[in-house]
Amino acid sequence: MTAFTPNPALDLVLERTIAVAPEKVWAAWTQPELLMQWFTPAPWKTVACEIDLRAGGRCNTTMESPEGEQFPNHGCYLEVVPGRLLVFTSVMAEDFRPIAAGEGDLPFTGRIEITPAADGGTQYRAIAMHADESGCEQHRQMGFEEGWGAALDQLVALMS
Amino acid sequence: MTAFTPNPALDLVLERTIAVAPEKVWAAWTQPELLMQWFTPAPWKTVACEIDLRAGGRCNTTMESPEGEQFPNHGCYLEVVPGRLLVFTSVMAEDFRPIAAGEGDLPFTGRIEITPAADGGTQYRAIAMHADESGCEQHRQMGFEEGWGAALDQLVALMS
């Protein structure tokens, strides 16, 4: 497990200490039936989730808008350190196959760091890494902080 | 180490049994001073090489044309099984950071499988995985089979 120092020009970071045990945070991120309950800020929903929890394994979710339109997202895991670190990306699918770039895509790599904190809680750090400043800014404008923060609130509510 | 079945519509494959021991093939792929001597079919050269041999570690080479023009390539390793398997990609740089797509790029993931064969040789299989059929066809037209084959001839000559 390699330490990572975010680059403020390229990376967005959500860091918070939460009163949820590390193993519960891990479960929420890695069990489809749990992930679907918190992953997408309401009133959006996550209506499908496939997880193959290994480097190169698929990490697919389908989001549904309040109007019922569905948005499938494909990706794969890059690094899996049980209970501690989950790295995944939107630029590759199963077996590390590159995904063709398309308009409207948001190419990023996500890094979820789970560190035991006082009183059985978790120091939670979620990082979205981008290729360049414009990709980072686009993700910020799309509401990274608000969206990932609201999803984390839902995770905490679910797992508490 | 997960088995991989190439998809003929998306993947290019070079498979050959060579009279070079697996540990020498591994060395040729993972030691910069060796890699620079065989990686690029002459009269092109590889004039720089940085290797950080871990999942997420950098895998950078600079090629030089016969006219002296240099072409830097960035990438990172995805899976490293010493002596057996090396997976790397051109769509991410160090720490799995996505690389911005640009014109003229050839987005692919490379998979080098090294299997012990009779008489101390190696069953060598190199696979280039692409996002779609057009990317695969572009790589084929660029001379994948000839180029990777000529490089492998150079590896065999160097390590024999």
User: Helix, strand, or coil here: A66?
Assistant: coil
Cβ <8 Å between B2 and A99: no
> Is residue A68 in a domain?
yes
- Distance from the A145 Cα atom to the nearest Cα atom in chain B, whole angstroms: 20
pLDDT, tens only, B44-92 = 999 999 999 999 999 999 999 999 999 999 999 999 999 999 999 999 9
pLDDT at B105: 77
- Distance from the B128 Cα atom to the nearest Cα atom in chain A, whole angstroms: 9
> Is residue B41 in a domain?
yes
Rounded Cα distance between B65 and B121, Å, is: 32
- Which residues in A lie closer than 8 A to residue B98 (C-beta atoms)? 89, 91, 107-109, 129-131, 135
Cβ <8 Å between B96 and A107: no
pLDDT at B3: 85
- Which residues in B lie closer than 8 A to residue A79 (C-beta atoms)? 55-56, 96
> Is residue B6 in a domain?
no
Cβ <8 Å between B87 and A129: no
Q: Say how many domains are in chain A.
A: 1
> Is residue B29 in a domain?
yes
> Is residue A143 in a domain?
yes
> Is residue A2 in a domain?
no
> Is residue B101 in a domain?
no
The length of chain B, given as a count of residues:
160
* DSSP calls for B15-57: EEEESS-HHHHHHHHH-HHHHHHHSS-TTSEEEEEEE--STT-
Q: What is the CATH number of the domain that holds B119?
A: 3.30.530.20
Query: Within an 8 Å CB–CB cutoff, is residue A105 touching chain B?
Result: no
For B21-46, what is the mean pLDDT? 98
ipTM: 0.94
> Is residue B3 in a domain?
no
pLDDT at A104: 64
Expressed as residue numbers, the domain containing B91 is 11-96+106-159
Q: What is the mean pLDDT of chain A?
A: 96
pTM for the predicted model, two decimal places: 0.95
For A40-45, what is the mean pLDDT? 96
Closest CA to B103 of A131, A45, A101: A101
pLDDT at B103: 64
Longest dimension (CA), chain B: 45
For B92-107, what is the mean pLDDT? 87
